[in-house]
Amino acid sequence: MLTKPGDLDLPFVTWTLDRLVAYLAEHHGLTMKRSRADEILVAEGVRWHTQETWFGERVDPEFAAKRGRSSSSTQTHLRAVS
């Protein structure tokens, strides 16, 4: 959908197929499976963007090497030896 959810006073910032299907059913009385909604969007040339999160693996496999060492202001915690 080209309208941002926030512009419709919805409590989320991005559309998913599930959110779109639920919105269409609740606000417009249109019921369909999410696979059908996806078919329609693809036929109209709408592409889904992948959201990058801070969880999981980084997109750049060399991120740690490029980042470098931690700041010297970061405290070092010593482990107790048993």
| pTM exceeds cut of 0.85 | no
Looking from the CA of 75 toward its CB, the CA atoms found within 13 Å total 3
Q: What is the pLDDT of residue 3?
A: 86
Q: What is the pLDDT of residue 76?
A: 65
Output the CA–CA distances (angstroms, integers) from residue 21 to 27, 42, 57, 63, 64, in the order listed. 10, 15, 30, 37, 40
Q: pLDDT of the chain along its 82 residues, tens only?
A: 678 888 999 888 888 889 999 999 999 999 999 999 999 989 998 877 766 566 665 566 676 677 766 666 666 666 666 6
User: How many angstroms separate the CA atoms of 10 and 31, rounded?
Assistant: 19
User: How many angstroms separate the CA atoms of 42 and 68, rounded?
Assistant: 42
